[in-house]
Structure 1
Amino acid sequence: MNYQNGGDSEAMLRGQAQILQYIFGALDAMALRCCVELRIADIINHHGSPTTLSEIINGINSPSINVDGLERLMKFLVRRNIFDEKNGEKENLYSLNHCSTWLLCGTDVTLAPLVMLRTNPIIMTPAYVMSHSIKEGGTSFMRVHGAELFDFCQLNSEFNKVFNEGMACTARITTKAILSSYKNEFVGLKGCIVDVGGGNGILVSEIVKAYPHLKGVNFDLKHVISTAPVYNGVIHIAGDMFKAIPCAETIFMKWILHDWGDDDCVKIIKNCRKALSIENGKLVIVEAVQNLDEHDYFNDIRATFDLAMFSHFSSGRERSESQWKKLLAQGGFFRYNIIKIPAFQSIIEAFLK
């Protein structure tokens, strides 16, 4: 093969393989979606032991199932280490592992709703016009759908449900990480805790459940909290964080500020400052902190997520520590701590003094 510029042939082969992997990478996500839609992980889990293809077929219970297609899907998912496979007496046996456990639909801690959100055509289509957004400006999502993402959710109840479920599943996972790593901080808190942009209220409800001396407020847009369930110790309040935020001793924001540009973030942070009812009140931000020189399980996906923010929001982005420090100072918070937790995000504590 004649490589351009006389480059090293082995390196060029590796490069070709890498580009091909990226080109066909979308099929990885769609294979996960297929797995969730067919409830394959749940079928294996309910079986209670390593499961044959025939038993998976029985669990799917379709009169016209494509057995060859299912077998090829399972081989692919084993290749991707989503399931484990071993030889059986008559058929190979499939079992769950540390990856496929996250695809269970009948559990509280799952990524299955996020799979369905991230592979939804409404979310995926904006990537097709990313080059236009780079050349001409504007938001890819707006260019494709004629509305910004949150406005689109308000106008489309079916997608709004998919979006809220995807956000709620990540909230549950992050909440467990917060409660395990930040638990001593909750003991000393008093009064009311407001979760700004709290969606279905998962985060604040779990905090209040674990620390019943606190009162919880889930604060979000009207169309968001309209589908939120009832939780003991939590009230839902509709409003606009750009206008005013309910007063509290502690304000939480999880995965909110990365949706917005710097100017909007400063407005929100200033409103948080106004809403803190005591001078030693605390703003707790749960967001990714970009550090491309550091290596952990989530470092690469943080970079990918920054590109997702670019395609979905007019000014959304993931930020480095220096960028967070600047935003907090502009919003009136001149002291902060960053606390790492076992999750995609970190905890950023911000103080008035």
Structure 2
Amino acid sequence: MEDETLESRNQARLAILELTNMISVPMCLHAIVRLNVPDAIWQGGSNAPLSASQILTRVLPSGDPHNLQRILRLLTTYGVFAEHLLTDPSSDQVLRKYSLTDIGKTLVTDADGLSYGAYVLQHYQEELMTAWPLVHEAVVDSTTEPFVKANGEPAYSYYGKKPEMNDLMQRAMSGVSVPFMKAILNGYNGFDGVQRLVDVGGSAGDCLRMILQKHTNIKEGINFDLPEVVAKAPNIPGVTHVGGDMFKSVPDGDAIFMKWVLTTWTDEECKLIMKNCYNALPVGGKMIACEPVLPKESDNSLRTRALLEGDIFVMTIYRAKGKHRTEEEFRQLGLSAGFPHLRAFYIDHFYTVLEFQK
């Protein structure tokens, strides 16, 4: 029988309690975004430490400062906030104030109205939350993802019928895409020499706009997505919005770009998408896919955890057999679609640039 006084047993009990109660973390993250706490602290760059009461005077004067402080304390332990302990000379009581860390700053709304806040809100909508108790169903029956079992239809078609959900999805993707694209454009030169670039699944065209601004050699950009998506896309100089179905065909181009497209589809669906891209390219042309790439071995690093957590999100919400893949798995998909060459550029810690050349 185990000696429960041993340090290893104490640590094991702590660990399982933390794992069980870990839902508190994303829900508290959701709460501070809903309450607009990051913007209240940031205040145009001052980032001055504020108490829970001071934060509430800026976002919700009628709110409960004690309960907000409890949320702030938890998120401090995960590096979202920095805690500053001060002593009130009049009462000798400890006063807790909070400022934003680099992690917390990702939730601050920028000049374009973007942040990772929409990504947080998108993940925890009621319809998505109802799918999570059914994760085990992805093992029992992998033909249907838990989101469908909870809501009756696939996520993308569901979003299409719910304008608010679809708008939030677009803002979430834009909020994630912009900082990622800045990193890629500073560290990847694969767009040099391209004259006609096709963005498959380009949504509102944010990524394409940024690429064209940096690479003036590109004379024509094609933003390719579902007709109902591109119908709402804004006018962008140099960009033509084209509606269609990537499972049927893809517009021709010198290069084809896509971000977080392949991960939400099965292997067979990916082969079909990639084959259509192959057919749309000239010899020497390339398909540039930005996807989460899993490490070969599992470990407890922040990067590996983020990638594996994202993998389960895809399995639960978008496709039971959609998945994050290893570099070798992407290589094999490329070969099956006709691409003989693959180069991987690990510039961003979450998305890897995968360059498939025809």
Report the TM-score, using the length of structure 2 for normalisation. Answer: 0.90
The 4+ residue runs of structure 1 with deviation greater than 6 A are none
| Candidates 52, 65, 68, aligned match of 1:67 | 65
1:194-343 equivalences in 2 (<5 Å): 194-214=198-218, 215-276=220-281, 278-293=282-297, 297-312=302-317, 313-343=319-349
**Does the 8 Å contact 2:292/2:350 carry over to 1?**
yes
Aligned to 1:342, the other structure's residue is in SS state coil
Cα distance in 2, alignment partners of residues 54 and 133 from structure 1: 44
5+ residue gaps, structure 2, are 89-94
* 1:22 aligned residue: 19
Q: Which residue of 2 aligns with 1:41?
A: 38
Runs (5+) with no aligned partner, structure 1: none
5 Å-filtered alignment, 1:159-198, equals: 159-182=165-188, 184-187=189-192, 189-198=193-202
Number of the residue aligned with 1:148: 154
CA contact (8 A) 2:294 2:324 kept: yes
CA displacement at 1:314 relative to structure 2: 3.5
Match of 2:91 in 1: none
CA distance in 2, matches of 1:128, 1:53: 33
- Choose between structure 1 and 2: higher helix proportion: 1
- Does the CA-based 8 Å contact 1:177-1:343 persist in structure 2? no
Instruction: Show CA shifts across 1:3-49 (max 9, x none).
Output: 4xx68933232222112111111110111111111111111111722
Pair 65,210 (structure 1): closer, same or farther in 2 beyond 3 Å: same
SS in 1 for 2:130: helix
2:82 alignment partner, SS class: strand
1:212/1:56 CA distance change after superposition, 3 Å? same
2:123 equivalent to 1:124: no
Count of aligned positions: 345
Aligned residue among 79, 94, 112 for 2:77 = 79
Contact 1:84 1:94 in 2 (8 A): yes
Partner of residue 117, structure 2: 112
Matched position secondary structure for 1:284: strand
Is the CA contact 1:43–1:59 (under 8 Å) kept in the aligned structure 2? yes
**8 Å Cα contact 2:334/2:356 also seen in 1:** yes
Conserved? CA contact 2:258–2:288, under 8 Å = yes
Instruction: Give the % identical residues.
Output: 26
Please say if residues 153 and 159 of structure 1, whose CA atoms lie closer than 8 Å, have aligned partners that are also in contact.
Answer: yes
Seen in structure 2, the aligned counterparts of structure 1 residues 349 and 136 have a Cα distance that, compared at 3 Å, is closer
CA contact (8 A) 1:41 1:96 kept: yes
The amino acid that maps onto 1:282 is K
Residue 320 of structure 1, CA deviation: 1.1
**1:178 and 1:186 mapped to 2: Cα distance?**
11
Deviates more, 1:71-80 or 1:158-167: 71-80
- Report the Cα distance in structure 2 between the residues aligned to 1:343 and 1:80, rounded to whole angstroms: 19
The answer on whether the counterparts of 1:292 and 1:299 sit within 8 Å (CA) in structure 2 is no
Distance in 2 (alpha carbons) for counterparts of 1:309 and 1:281: 30
